Amino acid sequence: MLLNFRPDHVKKPRTIRGVALILLLLVLLPVLVFTVYEISGLSGSESFVADIYRRQLDIALFSINQFAWDVANTWTNAVENGWKPSGGGGPFPPGFAGEFLGRNPAIDAVFIADSTGADISFMVGRNGDDSTGRERLAVLLAGEKPLIGRLLMLSTHNYRKIEPRTLPDLSGQGGGVVLLFVMRDLRGVPALAGIRLHQERFVREVLGERMREAAGGEFVISVFRTSNGDRVFASEEGPGADPEQRRQLWLFPDLEVGIRLKGETIQQVARSRVSRDLVILVVLDAVLLSGVWVVYRSVRREMEFVRMKSDFVSNVSHDLRTPLALIRMYAETLEMGRLAGEEKKQEYYGTIVKETERLTRLVNNLLNFSRMEAGRRPYNLSPLDLNVVVRSVLDSFSPQMGSEGFSLVLDLDPAIPAVRADTEAVQEALINILDNAVKYSGAEKYLRVATGRRMDEIYVDIEDHGPGIPPEYRERIFETFFRVPSPQTPAAKGSGLGLAIARHIMEAHGGRVDLKSTPGRGSTFTMAFRYEHNTHH
Ligand code: ADP
């Protein structure tokens, strides 16, 4: 009664299905939603990563442009400062222009014109005063009146703007670029000036180093002619022909600088990063799922264990009550002295003794079990003849087996050596196994007990022709409280402790308990001891 007592306010434990549902809702569903969300966002992040790369490439191009511009600025400064002292409509001081051109091979010529650009007063080229150059310049300036006016206006506000212009190609030998700007002498008198650049040389000798530096082994930077797509320069030989980012060079209206990643394209890099993310996501999911699985499994085991334990309590209380009730009933009958013959009395006494033995066995099992659980069961090892133990245990079983009509086959090997063991413990293990064989055997009441020596083991086999044990339970029946679920063992009551105790005892002796079974045909349990030569006598 006490064991069945459960106050109403104690919550019923969750069912395993409830636990599975909670895990599903709390863990699996969020993970699933998150994964789907992430995967659907992957294409977006691919273009995001690509954008970042593109911007990075753009910055590299920008810095090259900026550098070219800085160089041009330095040159216009040098020209203005060199010219200033002579001033007015005057030419460069003697030697200045030659020396300037000598220092900067990318410059083809410098010139000075009046502030309207109508009259080119001085022009110094690489090969002296070159007339075709002068002619082309004149054509250009004639067409750029508004620009020159604007440069002049800006210069009155102290701002010296540089405007690159492409020279007209008069003779089919290429145009070239002039940088036009307005400068002022010491008295503030303005003049239009220009620096004619050699595009290819500028790109190669001024920008080249810079572009190689910016490329840094990771990128290929090239310069193209916009008009016909020709490649003028490449930071490195190879697949630079197809840049992913292009920018016009501010200084050269006809040139573009382009950049691409070496080897992979931005698209490929972005994709490989994204697919790496995907792999991480999948791995994470797998870890989470297996975590959930582990939790689910251990909860399931735990719940099963709790169930087995409560079965145990109800079985044990049944096992305690049945013999007690019998003993009491028989004792009371005897006490009242209403029994007729002596024979009947003897039968009643016998039943009382048998039931007491059963009770003792059960209580011993329980006590030993709890001591064993705590690891406090002492074993007194001494040389032991297994045949003797088998005989004495079978003797105690014979009344029961006889009355139930068991046929017993004994197959003892008289030559087996002694084993070192605790007699009481070995008896207990054997009793538990024999008890099962008797208890679970159905109509086929057959029992064979054999001893012998196999390799380096000495064994006792206990064979029955009972229902056998399904493969999936062959290990589990040795677990504490575990009982093969009905209908396999419908009638027999038990605690689920017997085999756990037997295995514990055998392992404490350095031996083992094993099972071979064919469902429907029977089971053979084997208690095996290690054979040690020094115990041989
Ligand atoms: P119990 O107290 O239930 O007998 P045991 O630990 O001794 O506990 O046995 C565990 C379970 O193994 C039993 O409930 C029974 O289902 C199964 N079993 C044990 N021995 C046999 C046997 N000889 N034949 C069939 N089933 C067996």
3-state SS string over 394-406?
Answer: HHHHHHHHHHHCC
**Which amino acid, residue 452?**
G
Query: Which stretch of DSSP H or E encloses residue 280?
Result: helix 266-336
Write out the E strands in 385-511: 407-411, 419-421, 446-454, 457-464
Burial (0-12, 13-18, 19+ Cβ within 10 Å), 341: exposed
Residue identifier of the C-alpha nearest atom 12 of ligand 1: 477
435, two tokens: 């008890």
Asked if residue 169 lies in contact with residue 140, where contact means CB atoms within 8 angstroms, the answer is no
Residue 478 Cβ contacting ligand 1 at under 6 Å: no
Residue 87 pLDDT class (50, 70, 90 cuts): low
Higher pLDDT pick, 444 / 46:
444
What is the mean pLDDT of the segment spanning 426-435? 93
Cα 521 to middle of ligand 1, angstroms? 15
d(CA 210, CA 162): 22
Residue 440 Cβ contacting ligand 1 at under 6 Å: yes
Q: Degrees (nearest 5) of the Cα angle 154, 156, 159?
A: 50
Asked if residue 188 lies in contact with residue 107, where contact means CB atoms within 8 angstroms, the answer is no
d(CA 257, CA 252): 10
Strand order in 512-518's β-sheet? 407-411, 446-454, 457-464, 522-530, 512-518
Residue of 499, 513, 517 to mutate, ligand 1, most atoms within 8 A of C-beta: 499
Residue 13 pLDDT class (50, 70, 90 cuts): low
The ligand 1 atom nearest the CA atom of 495: 2
Whether the CA torsion 115, 79, 181, 225 is positive or negative: it is positive
The ligand 1 atom nearest the CA atom of 500: 6
Residue 4 pLDDT class (50, 70, 90 cuts): very low
Residue 500 Cβ contacting ligand 1 at under 6 Å: yes
The ligand 1 atom nearest the CA atom of 441: 24
Query: Which stretch of DSSP H or E encloses residue 23?
Result: helix 16-23
Cα 361 to middle of ligand 1, angstroms? 16
Question: Bridge-partner residues for 488, per DSSP?
Answer: none
Range with the largest mean pLDDT of 256-270, 310-324, 504-518: 504-518
Residue 104 in 3-state DSSP?
coil
Residue 504 Cβ contacting ligand 1 at under 6 Å: no
Asked if residue 193 lies in contact with residue 107, where contact means CB atoms within 8 angstroms, the answer is no
Residue 522 Cβ contacting ligand 1 at under 6 Å: no
Q: What is the pLDDT of residues 114-165, one digit of tens each?
A: 888 888 888 888 766 666 778 888 888 999 999 999 999 999 898 889 999 9
Residue identifier of the C-alpha nearest atom 20 of ligand 1: 436
Residue 436 Cβ contacting ligand 1 at under 6 Å: yes
Residue 133 Cβ contacting ligand 1 at under 6 Å: no
Residue 464 Cβ contacting ligand 1 at under 6 Å: yes
d(CA 343, CA 83): 149
Residue 462 Cβ contacting ligand 1 at under 6 Å: no
333, two tokens: 């009958």
Give one DSSP letter per residue of 341-382, joined into a string: -HHHHHHHHHHHHHHHHHHHHHHHHHHHHHHHHTT------E
* pLDDT exceeds cutoff 50 at 3: no
Q: What is the pLDDT of residues 358-396, one digit of tens each?
A: 888 788 878 888 888 788 888 999 999 999 999 999 998
Cα 15 to middle of ligand 1, angstroms? 26
Spell out the residues 6+ positions from residue 47 whose beta carbon is closer than 8 angstroms to its own.
270
Residue 437 Cβ contacting ligand 1 at under 6 Å: yes
Residue 115 Cβ contacting ligand 1 at under 6 Å: no
Cα 256 to middle of ligand 1, angstroms? 88
Length of the chain: 537
Asked if residue 354 lies in contact with residue 402, where contact means CB atoms within 8 angstroms, the answer is no
Cα 453 to middle of ligand 1, angstroms? 26
Residue identifier of the C-alpha nearest atom 25 of ligand 1: 468
Residue 506 Cβ contacting ligand 1 at under 6 Å: no
Q: What is the pLDDT of residues 34-56, one digit of tens each?
A: 888 888 877 777 777 778 878 88
Q: What is the pLDDT of residues 206-253, one digit of tens each?
A: 988 888 888 887 888 888 888 888 888 888 776 555 777 888 888 888
Cα 523 to middle of ligand 1, angstroms? 11
Residue 315 Cβ contacting ligand 1 at under 6 Å: no
Residue identifier of the C-alpha nearest atom 11 of ligand 1: 483
d(CA 178, CA 521): 107
Cα 433 to middle of ligand 1, angstroms? 8
d(CA 109, CA 100): 10
* φ, ψ at 271 (rounded to 5°): -65, -40
The ligand 1 atom nearest the CA atom of 499: 6
d(CA 507, CA 377): 13
Higher pLDDT pick, 91 / 475:
475
Residue of 318, 364, 368, 440 to mutate, ligand 1, most atoms within 8 A of C-beta: 440
The ligand 1 atom nearest the CA atom of 315: 2
Cα 153 to middle of ligand 1, angstroms? 110
70, two tokens: 């800085």
Cα 511 to middle of ligand 1, angstroms? 20
d(CA 191, CA 160): 12
Cα 64 to middle of ligand 1, angstroms? 86
Residue of 308, 436, 488 to mutate, ligand 1, most atoms within 8 A of C-beta: 436
* pLDDT exceeds cutoff 50 at 2: no
* φ, ψ at 247 (rounded to 5°): -140, 140
Residue 235 CB neighbours (<10 A): 24
pLDDT at residue 525, as a whole number = 97
Residue identifier of the C-alpha nearest atom 16 of ligand 1: 484
pTM across the whole model? 0.50
The ligand 1 atom nearest the CA atom of 467: 25
Task: Please report, for residues 400, 420, 465, the alpha-carbon distance to residue 443 in angstroms, rounded to integers and kept in the order given.
Answer: 15, 37, 9
- What is the percent of the chain with per-residue pLDDT over 70, rounded to a whole number? 91
Whether the CA torsion 241, 244, 245, 246 is positive or negative: it is positive
Spell out the residues 6+ positions from residue 218 whose beta carbon is closer than 8 angstroms to its own.
261, 262
Residue 511 Cβ contacting ligand 1 at under 6 Å: no
Residue 319 Cβ contacting ligand 1 at under 6 Å: no
